[in-house]
Amino acid sequence: MISDSEIRSAIPTALDSVDVSGLGDKIDGKVRDMYTVDRKRALITTDRVSAFDRVLGTIPFKGQVLTQLSAWWFEQLQDVVSHHVVDVPDPNVIIGHEADPLPVEVIVRGYITGSTSTSLWTLYEQGVRRPYGLDLPAGLVKNAALPTPVITPTTKAEKGQHDERLTSAEVVERGLVDAELWSHVQAVALEVFSRGQAVASQAGLILVDTKYEFGMIDGKLALIDEVHTPDSSRYWVADTYQNAMSEGHAPDQFDKEHLRLWLGAQGYKGDGEAPALSDEIVAEVSARYISAYERLTGLTFVPGEQPPRERIANRLTAYFGR
C-alpha cells in the first residue's frame, strides 16, 4: 500500500478537477465532472469530497480509487447486468456510453442502521413496523443484520437537496418505472448486492448498504455511475462488529461516514460553513479509501501521475476523434 508519507506529500496537489474544456458538452455533477460527446460520456472522477451535500475539500487519490474500483466491479458483475463503461484511459477517467438514467436510485440495505429522521433504524425505533412499505420483524436492534436485504428506492436528488424516499409500490404507481422493469431492476440489484457482500466478507469487510444507479442503453438495463465504492456504499470492518454491538456503537467505518463522524466531532452537523479538514483526517481518509480498494480487489493501488490534466485531455480527445 502507498505510504502515509506519500499520501501527505500529495495533499497540496490533490486533484480538484480535470480540465478538458472544449472536449464536449459539460454536465456538472455533485463531485464529478462529466462531458458528453457523440453519445459517450466521460466521467472525470475528481478528488473533491462530498459530505452533508457540500464540497469540503480534497482527498488525495480518492478520485482514482473511485474510478479504478468501479471499473473493477463492473467487470466482476458483467454476467449479472451490463454496464456503461467503454474504456478507462486514465486512473481519473471512465468513458461510458451515454445512458438514459432511471428516475430512481436503488438503495439496498443489509443492516438496519442510521441516525437521521428518515433512516430505517430511526423509524423502526419509533415503532414504525412497515417503513417504506417493508415488513420488518419485531426485536431488531440497531446495526443488526436484516433477515434478508431490502430495497428502499429514492428519487434522484439535485445538489443540496435530499432524496425523496419511496416505497416500491410508489415507484410503479407514480409511473417512474413500469412494473415489469422495476421487478427486473430489484432482482438485479439484490443479486449485485449479494455479490458485493461475498467479496466484502472475503476482504474482512461488511457491505452494510449501497446505492445503485441504473439506466437504459439501447433498450437494455445497465449499471451506471459508480458501484461498491467507499462513496456509494457503507462498509464496516468485520472484526470490529461484535465488540461494537456489545458496546452499543457502530463498527469501524471504511467509507466516507468516517469523515462525517470526524466533522461531527468538530461540531459540524451539515449546515453553514464546514471546518477546514486537517492534514491528519485527510491522510487518514485517503488511506482508508486506498485500503478499501486493495482489500476488495486484491490489487495494489498504483496512483497515476499528478497532475494529469493535459495528458487526460489528450487521451480523451484522441479517443473521441476530436
pLDDT tens-digit series, residues 227-269: 999 999 999 999 999 999 999 998 999 998 899 889 989 998 8
Can you tell me the mean pLDDT for 136-141? 94
Chain-centroid distance, C-alpha 112: 18
Residues composing the chain? 322
Q: What value does the mean pLDDT take over residues 121-149? A: 94
Task: Indicate if the pLDDT at residue 209 is higher than 70.
Answer: yes
Average pLDDT score over residue span 67-81: 96
- Distance from first CA to last CA of the chain, Å, rounded? 37
Location of C-alpha cell 465488540: 243
Assess contact for 115 and 104: CB atoms under 8 A.
Answer: no
Confidence of residue 160 (pLDDT cuts 50, 70, 90): very low
* pLDDT at residue 308, rounded to an integer: 64
Pick 29 or 84 by higher pLDDT. Answer: 84
Cis peptide before 131 (omega within 30 of 0): no
Cell numbers standing for residue 69: 474500483
Contact predicate 84/215, CB 8 Å: yes
DSSP labels for 67-128? Answer: HHHHHHHHHHHTTTSEE-EEEEEETTEEEEE--EE-SEEEEEEEEE---STTSHHHHHHTT-
| Angstrom distances, CA of residue 175 to CA of 102, 156, 179, 180 | 11, 15, 9, 12
pLDDT of residue 156 exceeding 80: no
pLDDT at 29: 66
- pLDDT at 159 > cutoff 80: no
Angle at 228 between CA 225 and CA 231, to 5 degrees: 75
Distance CA 122, CA 113 (A): 8
Asked whether residue 90 carries a pLDDT value surpassing 90, the answer given is no
| C-alpha closest to that of 54 among 227, 277, 210, 212 | 277
Q: Following CA atoms 261, 157, 62, 25 in sequence, which dihedral angle do they give, to the nearest 10 degrees?
A: -160
pLDDT score at 117: 85
Q: What percent of the chain has pLDDT over 70?
A: 94
Instruction: Please compute the mean of the pLDDT values over residues 269-275 and round it to a whole number.
Output: 83
Q: Compute and round to an integer the Cα radius of gyration of the chain.
A: 19
More confident residue, 139 or 304: 139
